[in-house]
Structure 1
Amino acid sequence: MIYVDGVLFPDENSSSSLSSSSQGSSLLLDVMTHSVIISASDSFKNLEEQRVTESSTKDRYVYIFQREYAVVNPALVDFVGMDEATTCVGLVIRNRKSGVTSIAHMDSPEVVDLGISQMLSLVMEDDSDAAELDVHMVGGYEDVDLKNATGGDDYAKPEGYSFPLCCKLVESLQKRREKIHIQTLFILGHNTKLDAQGNTCPIFNGFLVNTSTGTIVPASFNRSSRCPDELVRRIRVSASFDDPSWKGKLLDTYDTKTDRFIIAPCSWTMRLVEYVWELNQLPDEEILVNCSTSPSAEGPDFIDNERRIWKYLLKYPEWSKTFPKRQPRVFERTANGSWNFVF
């Protein structure tokens, strides 16, 4: 159940209906045009983007990559965040009573239903019907003309990438029995600007959540603060598409109770390694076209990140070298806030 400004949504004045999933686009647009959501988007847009570096992370941080999620306890973690979202969407779900906060970097409608269930697994208390949940969404932009978007069951590519994902997110949240209060919906048109060449691109690509207060601000991270185990976690995004154990799921990454990163194993095939070898021969401009859903909106380090991933895969083509006996990679937080590889 979705609430906006404390009122169950949609109300009798809304054009959307839950009688069919084809109404997902109407539901999304109704929520986005609600006066409270517009006001919240305007306020978020006027916030200064916080830049997180390793030297600035004196507090206890948790960072997630694409297709990952994490549920954090405010007693153990001060801030949780993500960035690098273009057509992807960052989703935050926070329990008002306990402060337990879950975030995910959603990249496809296919992972939304199971992904939200994964996110809620440790956010909900015993009396889940009474729990009040605050939700924020940041990311996605108008990568296509939404006037021609129709919603529908298949979330097809002609609608671009951002719009089908946002439709699916709002639709899935609406169908949940939990009380979900939409606080921020900084997506699509709210999160779109023009670059110097006239291309649409996101205003913000990431955010940071204060787990104690629930406050969310725009944020970006540099390479040293996207940790731990950056390269392996990036590789899991591509490898998970061919690993049936992760079909329809978000990638397990962080253990809430122990405040440890437990990077769940993922296998990859020689087909992926061969494909990577071919990609690595391409010039930079072709890498953008072949490897990004938003070539004109990627950050300046996108190509370098891709080449570093490929270099790792070509050096370690057998996944068992990275995940021996298909065991996770475990990292513990040190006294100074960095992460130490355990096994």
Structure 2
Amino acid sequence: MIFVDGVPFPSPSSNQESDTETLAALMEHPTLLSASNSFKATPERKFSVPEESVTERSAQSKLVYLFQREFATVDPALVDFVGTDEATTCIGLAIRNRKNGMISVAHVDSPEIVDMGLSQMLSGVVDFNLDADLDVHLLGSFEDFPPRHSDYSTNSENHENMDGFSLPLCTKIVETLRSRREKFHIQTLCILGHNTRRDSNNVAYPIFNGLVVETSSGSVLPASFNRTSRCPDEVVRRIRVTAAYEDSTWNGKLLETYDTQTDRFIIAPCYWTRRQVQIANSLKYLSDTEILHVCSTSPSAEGPDFVENERRIWDYLIKQPDWRKTFPGKRPRIFERTDTGGWKRC
């Protein structure tokens, strides 16, 4: 169930139009409009690891960072911040239990993983108490669809025939929140038109690409992270995102990376095939512009390091074509927290 201002949000009478109508109504709700405007007026929090912290001479905040398709449930007693960025047509979704303070954050990239992914997130947050009040924050995606969809209505079109990636994902998330029994209190809905800016040529871009939750208060802020804070095991975790699409065990699921109880990252083994290595060998010869158009759902909206990150992934695959050298004995890669708040390989 969806709540706004502590009141159940009414469901439209038409089943055919219910999900798109619900999304449109939420986007226009005065409280959520005001919340979006306040969110956009909040300075973006920029995360990086100071050089002295890298050498373990000074402490830093305890951060859990998530890549695309990953999720993590964190305990405020162990973690200061949890967040994600690099979202263009994706959604950063944060859920917080008001009673116990447990927080789950995910970087959702596809409608196909919403149903099971939400169940994964809630498994560590609700403690089997379906009456728990859950604060929900959504940030990301933008108007990457043609103007005819700007009213968030699909009319006779279905999701499969709809242009763009953002709208089907947002609609699916709202549909799932609305249909479940838990109490979801929407606090932030900075998505689609509320997260879109346009240049002089009317090209659309997202205003924000990331969010972070301050666990002690539950406050959610727009955020960005640089390479030093996107850790641990950055390149391997990026590879897992692509490898998961060819691994049936991850069908419909978010990627598990973080152990809530021990405050450790446990990167489960993933395998890459000879075909993926061959693809990496062919893609490395593309120009930067070609890489953007081949590898991104939103070529004009990607961050300045997108192409470089793609090239680093291909370079790793080419140099390590046998996945078993990355995961010897098919064992996970485990990272534990250092005294300064960073990570070290076990």
- Give TM-score scaled by structure 1 length: 0.94
Match of 2:78 in 1: 76
2:202 and 2:223 map into 1 onto residues whose CA distance is: 24
Match of 1:270 in 2: 274
1:270 and 1:157 map into 2 onto residues whose CA distance is: 33
Q: Which runs of 5+ in 2 are unaligned?
A: 54-58
Deviation string for 1:175-208 (max 9, x for gaps)? 1111110000000000000135531000000011
Match of 1:10 in 2: 10
Q: What secondary structure does 2:301 align onto?
A: coil
Amino acid at match of 1:120: L
Match of 1:186 in 2: 190
Pick from 162, 166, 170 the counterpart of residue 162 of structure 1: 166
Pick from 110, 118, 121 the counterpart of residue 120 of structure 2: 118
1:29 and 1:151 map into 2 onto residues whose CA distance is: 13
Q: How many percent of aligned residue pairs carry the same amino acid?
A: 57
> Aligned pair in 2 of structure 1 residues 214, 153: CA closer, same or farther (>3 Å)?
farther
Match of 1:65 in 2: 67
1:68 and 1:135 map into 2 onto residues whose CA distance is: 17
Alignment of 1:236-255 (within 5 A): 236-255=240-259
2:87 and 2:267 map into 1 onto residues whose CA distance is: 21
2:138 and 2:345 map into 1 onto residues whose CA distance is: 32
Cα shift at 1:156:
2.2
- Kept in 1: contact 2:69–2:108 (CA 8 A): yes
1:107 and 1:153 map into 2 onto residues whose CA distance is: 21
- Give TM-score scaled by structure 2 length: 0.93
- Kept in 1: contact 2:111–2:168 (CA 8 A): yes
Pick from 324, 335, 341 the counterpart of residue 328 of structure 2: 324
Match of 2:46 in 1: 51
Match of 1:27 in 2: 22
- Kept in 1: contact 2:43–2:222 (CA 8 A): yes
Amino acid at match of 1:86: T
Q: What secondary structure does 2:61 align onto?
A: coil
Amino acid at match of 1:141: F
Aligned residues: 336
2:255 and 2:147 map into 1 onto residues whose CA distance is: 30
> Aligned pair in 2 of structure 1 residues 230, 163: CA closer, same or farther (>3 Å)?
same
Cα shift at 1:154:
5.6
> Aligned pair in 2 of structure 1 residues 152, 241: CA closer, same or farther (>3 Å)?
farther
2:211 and 2:133 map into 1 onto residues whose CA distance is: 22
Match of 2:56 in 1: none
- Kept in 2: contact 1:151–1:164 (CA 8 A): no
2:161 and 2:299 map into 1 onto residues whose CA distance is: 15
Pick from 93, 96, 103 the counterpart of residue 94 of structure 1: 96
Cα shift at 1:10:
1.7
Alignment of 1:122-271 (within 5 A): 122-126=124-128, 128-145=129-146, 147-148=148-149, 149-150=153-154, 155-156=159-160, 158-195=162-199, 197-271=201-275
- Kept in 1: contact 2:60–2:342 (CA 8 A): no
Q: What secondary structure does 2:299 align onto?
A: coil
2:155 and 2:120 map into 1 onto residues whose CA distance is: 25
1:283 and 1:197 map into 2 onto residues whose CA distance is: 24
Cα shift at 1:130:
2.2
Amino acid at match of 1:10: P
1:39 and 2:68 correspond? no
- Kept in 2: contact 1:251–1:264 (CA 8 A): no
Cα shift at 1:325:
2.7
2:343 and 2:299 map into 1 onto residues whose CA distance is: 33
> Aligned pair in 2 of structure 1 residues 138, 151: CA closer, same or farther (>3 Å)?
farther
> Aligned pair in 2 of structure 1 residues 18, 115: CA closer, same or farther (>3 Å)?
farther
Amino acid at match of 2:135: D
Q: Which runs of 5+ in 1 are unaligned?
A: none
> Aligned pair in 2 of structure 1 residues 287, 32: CA closer, same or farther (>3 Å)?
same
1:282 and 2:286 correspond? yes
Cα shift at 1:318:
1.6
Q: What secondary structure does 2:255 align onto?
A: coil
1:241 and 1:327 map into 2 onto residues whose CA distance is: 20
Cα shift at 1:288:
0.4
Amino acid at match of 2:48: T
Deviation string for 1:224-272 (max 9, x for gaps)? 0000000000111111111111111000100000000011222221111
